[in-house]
Amino acid sequence: MQAAIEEQRFPDWVRNYLRTMFPKGDVPGWVRDAMVVAGISLEGVAGPLPEGRRPGSGAEGGAGAEADGVDE
């Protein structure tokens, strides 16, 4: 991970890691939300969102970003 950061290829490292962890593309909503905040696209990694769910909605369990002070 450190080398990926130093070599300016961290987003690619994250996408490869997530492909390994979630080979079916079933990346949890909280991970998707974190990637939106980090500005890392999950195109080609994550499958479609469940019906009625959009990134940042906090609709998939746990507190939303607002509760964590991220959006303040």
Looking at this protein, which amino acid is placed at residue 56? G
pTM of structure? 0.67
**Domain residue ranges in the chain:** 1-40
Q: Cα-atom radius of gyration of the chain, to the nearest Å?
A: 13
pLDDT, one tens digit per residue, over 6-57 is: 999 999 999 999 999 999 999 999 999 999 999 999 999 988 876 665 655 5
Torsion angles phi and psi, residue 57, rounded to 5: -80, -15
